Amino acid sequence: MNDELLTTFDDNGNITGTAPRDEVHRLGLWHETFHCWFVSKEQDMLHIYLQLRSEHKKDYAGLLDITAAGHLLSDEVPEDGVREVQEELGICVAFEQLIPLGIIPYSMDNEGFLDRERAHVFLYANASPLSDFKLQQEEVAGIVTADFAGFRSLWLGDSATLQIQGFRVESSGTRIPISQTVDRSHFVPHEINYYRRIIEGIEAAFG
């Protein structure tokens, strides 16, 4: 995976070339990713879906994250990113069904590598029950949902905790229900501004 070739960019979004994935992270080079946030609306209440990253992941293992996401390789365009949804979640989604939020650039500094992403961010109005999700266990350990109003309050500083519900998958394939209270420390530490952009996009699309 670390020998995947990624397109690199300067601070202004201009293409500077290509580099292997491990070098991109080691040197803190800007590169492209695909992010897809699942949202559902039930009885006028919005819910957001979060993936629980596998404990086997090299970075941010076991933390809550974007519903489905991944790097765009040097020969790929954002439309190719829908493969991440199919691979990670087992849910078939057409690119035309996605709601684009544009490119959101942000950085994360994680003990040894600087992740500088130009994220192509999309929303998806999900109608599939959790029972339909077939997870790629080496990448995703579980899926949970949260009330969007609570998610909003957590990241805008109005609340310190958030209630989540869903399931995780054991190595045997057994699904274990999840119902717990979490705080920001349980999430991948994307920039606060990134979460705010997601919140604004969901409000504009589904509000």
Q: Residue 109: what are its φ and ψ, rounded to 5°?
A: -105, 115
CATH number at residue 168: 3.90.79.10
List pLDDT tens digits, range 164-204. 999 999 988 899 999 999 999 999 999 999 999 999 999 99
Average pLDDT of the segment spanning 97-115: 89
Q: With cut-offs at 50, 70 and 90, classify the pLDDT of residue 35.
A: very high
Per-residue model confidence as pLDDT tens digits over 57-90: 888 999 999 999 999 999 999 999 999 999 999 9
How far apart are the C-alpha atoms of 156 and 43, rounded to whole Å?
24
CA dist 206 and 105 (Å) reads 23
Q: How far apart, in whole angstroms, are the C-alpha atoms of residue 192 and residue 173?
A: 34
Model pTM score: 0.95
Model pLDDT, residue 58: 84
Residue 1, pLDDT > 60, answer no
| Residue among 187, 49, 202 at smallest CA distance from 121 | 202
| Contacts by residues 25-29 (CB-CB < 8 Å, ≥ 24 positions apart) | 25/113, 25/114, 25/115, 26/112, 26/113, 27/114, 28/107, 28/113, 28/114, 28/115, 28/116, 29/116
- Establish how many alpha carbons lie within 13 A of residue 101's alpha carbon, considering only the half-sphere containing its beta carbon: 27
CA-to-CA separations, 112 to 22, 58, 115, in angstroms, rounded: 11, 12, 10
Q: Residue 112 belongs to what domain range?
A: 5-206
What's the angle, vertex CA 97, arms to CA 93 and CA 98, rounded to 5? 95
pLDDT tens for 130-142 read: 999 999 999 999 9
Helix (H, G, I), strand (E, B) or coil at 189: coil
Number of domains observed in the structure of the chain: 1
